Amino acid sequence: MAALLAQRHGLDEAVAAFLAGRGVGVEDVPRFLEPKLQHWLPDPFVLRGMKEAAARLAKAIVTRERIAVFGDYDVDGTCSAALLVDFLEGVGADVLTYVPNRMTEGYGPNEKALGQLADAGAGLVITVDCGTTARDPLARARDLGLDVIVLDHHKVEETLPPAVAVVNPNRLDDDSGLGHLCAAGVVFLTLVAVRRQLRESGQLAGPEADLMAGLDLVALATVCDMAPLVGLNRAFVAQGLKVMARRGRPGLAALADVAGLKTSPQSWHLAFLLGPRINAAGRVAEADIGLQLLTTRDEGKARELAMRLDALNRERQALEQEVVEAAGAVIDRRIAQGEDPAVWVVAGRGWHPGVVGIAAQRLVQRFGRPVVVLSLDEEGQAAGSARSIAGVDIGQAVIAARAQGLVMKGGGHPMAAGMTLRADMLSRLEAFFDARLASDFARAAARQELAIDAALGLSGVRVELAEALAAAGPYGVGHPAPRFLLPAVRVVKVEEVGNGHLRLVVTDEGGSRGLAIAFRAAGEPLGAALLAAHGQRIHLVGQIKRNEWQGRVRVDIVVEDAAPAHLPLEVISRQAVEDIAGE
């Protein structure tokens, strides 16, 4: 199949092998390599609740009813709110916004905030990236005379909240097949539906809103919320990156500048450069700074807000490192005592509640299993976040824990969740997770292997290949960047550079030479293995990346794993690095 793809479409052999391994057929290649909305965009009314949501929102626009957009403090929630605000302001709607404070209000709509919106004259509240499990607050909103539309994607309980409409592709009765969308994707489809409603009723005043201009926000949200890059999501991100490259949104252009992004954006730039800076506002300061940045049209204000977010991100990094070290030490002690739960649940006083989620993610990478990190307050409550691994649905587990009375608030999706509980319930919660998820974790752990797309010699590591691979993106969850095996290369040089990275020079028997980098590997098992491999032959697994610095272009091997060259290739695994280090 790989040879056929290469011949039919003029592809590099390594690219063809990668696509064939991902199940891309001969006729699918053009649509796969150039995902467009015209190929993937569904009728938005296939989503349950969309008819009611579009009709109610269109009515509010036409009658100039005050509309409140209730957002969330993460990237998906911020982008969703910005997308909706841009549209509403563009059609002349009367709109106000509310983003809750992570530390004092927590996740989702609350009764006090809804009361403030009612006092401000709102008649319709639209919750984005939240609201699916907020039955009590939305019941209060109904009592206050507020209509509520929920636009969300998080896990759903059996009973929906009282609302005019709940548009969530993960509703138990939704058969749209769009459960992979993030909230911004749901908002985008809602705006398509509302625009159609206004157009068909002849009530669209002025020019139609350019929904395509908002794809930069949908792309950013999709990548940062770790939504799988399949189907419609691939089209959202591919086209959104093109919109972002045009720098038409002052806030994102300014944020790219302070982040040092000088090239056309790729999906990893969104995940590691732009997203963390927007998230920093909700983690350590006022959450609406991100929303202000994404909606301002003033370039001067955009630069000011971007610099503020950059400073907050540095503060976030320091706070995050403190929690990672403290929580990691707790887990290390428990491992030394022989504990082995399916999910680690750790809590501590003084752990900044705004960074526990990202700390949990780093601990998942370190320990290879789901981790819950919670911050304890003076009133005996624990609040925090969970992160998981593929195959272990932590969001559904949190909802089940809530149904059992183990947590007071909570919800999420398969890879991430949030919760609030009494501190005296911590051990019971971990036991519940262990009983519910142990078998799922065992199956997932058995599958924790790095999928290798193709083998490659150093002579094949070329800039042209890196560029061809980049063109086959976007990459992310559900469509990871291709990994290549470089067998039996000799490490002729290895040194620590930057902030804990390792740089290698490798050669092969044919005399070809390559440069490799292992990010944040120093002090980790992989780093120890690479340092110990100096002068030896090893198998490397990694990605092929184009690297441009000060006008010079080269290609790097981004190392993800290694194994001693004497091992048969079929048994290479992450554990094999211990053989290199002699542990």
Residue from 116, 118, 113, 117 nearest 134 by CA: 113
pLDDT score, position 579: 43
354-368 confidence digits (pLDDT tens):
899 999 999 998 999
Angle, CA 537 vertex, CA 531 and CA 542 arms, to 5°: 70
Predicted model pTM:
0.85
pLDDT score, position 477: 86
Q: Counting Cβ atoms within 10 Å, is residue 27 exposed (0-12), middle (13-18) or buried (19+)?
A: exposed
More confident residue, 44 or 480: 44
**Residue-wise DSSP of 544-583:** EEEEEETTEEEEEEEEEEEEETTS-GGG--GGGHHHHHT-
Domain of residue 164 covers 44-211
Q: Quick one: tokens of 428?
A: 């019971």
pLDDT score, position 103: 76
10 Å Cβ neighbour count for 246?
A: 11
- pLDDT confidence band for 22 (50 / 70 / 90): confident
Q: Counting Cβ atoms within 10 Å, is residue 96 exposed (0-12), middle (13-18) or buried (19+)?
A: middle
- Amino acid occupying residue 397: A
Q: Do residues 478 and 405 both lie within one domain?
A: no
Q: Would the CA dihedral through 505, 507, 513, 515 be positive or negative?
A: negative
pLDDT score, position 206: 66
Residue from 261, 268, 253, 341 nearest 301 by CA: 253
- Amino acid occupying residue 494: V
Q: Do 305 and 257 touch, CB atoms closer than 8 A?
A: no
Tell me whether residue 25 is in a domain. Answer: yes
Q: Do residues 543 and 576 both lie within one domain?
A: yes
Q: Do residues 21 and 82 both lie within one domain?
A: no
**Residue-wise DSSP of 513-541:** EEEEEETT-TTSHHHHHHHHTTTSEEEEE
More confident residue, 31 or 167: 167
Helix (H, G, I), strand (E, B) or coil at 95: strand
Beta pairing class for 66-70 and 124-128: parallel
Where does a domain end: 420, 446, 472? Answer: 446
The CATH number of the domain where 428 resides is what? Answer: 3.10.310.30
The domain tally of the chain equals 4
Q: Do residues 424 and 503 both lie within one domain?
A: no
Give, in order, the Cα–Cα distances in Å from 505 to each of 76, 535, 536.
Answer: 39, 10, 12
Q: Rounded CA gap, 515 and 493, in Å?
A: 10
Q: Do residues 182 and 48 both lie within one domain?
A: yes
Residue 272, pLDDT above cutoff 50: yes
Q: Do residues 419 and 459 both lie within one domain?
A: no
Q: Rounded CA gap, 533 and 448, in Å?
A: 24
pLDDT score, position 205: 65
Tell me whether residue 118 is in a domain. Answer: yes
53-83 confidence digits (pLDDT tens):
999 999 999 999 999 999 998 999 999 999 9
Q: Do residues 75 and 207 both lie within one domain?
A: yes
pLDDT score, position 283: 85
pLDDT score, position 448: 67
Q: Do residues 352 and 471 both lie within one domain?
A: no
75-126 confidence digits (pLDDT tens):
999 999 999 999 999 999 999 999 998 878 888 899 999 999 999 999 999 9
- For 339-348, 423-432, 541-550, which range has the lowest pLDDT when averaged over its residues? 541-550
Q: Counting Cβ atoms within 10 Å, is residue 138 exposed (0-12), middle (13-18) or buried (19+)?
A: buried
- pLDDT confidence band for 569 (50 / 70 / 90): low
The CATH number of the domain where 479 resides is what? Answer: 2.40.50.140
Q: Quick one: tokens of 474?
A: 């976007």
141 contacts: CB under 8 Å, gap ≥ 6: 109, 114, 118, 125, 148
* HSE-up (13 A, CA, CB side) for residue 101: 8
Where does a domain end: 196, 211, 226? Answer: 211
- pLDDT confidence band for 576 (50 / 70 / 90): very low
Q: Do residues 92 and 116 both lie within one domain?
A: yes
Cα 205 from chain centre: 36
507-542 confidence digits (pLDDT tens):
999 999 999 999 989 988 899 999 999 999 999 999
Q: Do residues 385 and 484 both lie within one domain?
A: no
Where does a domain end: 446, 470, 492? Answer: 446
Per-residue pLDDT, averaged over 432-461, amounts to 89
Tell me whether residue 161 is in a domain. Answer: yes
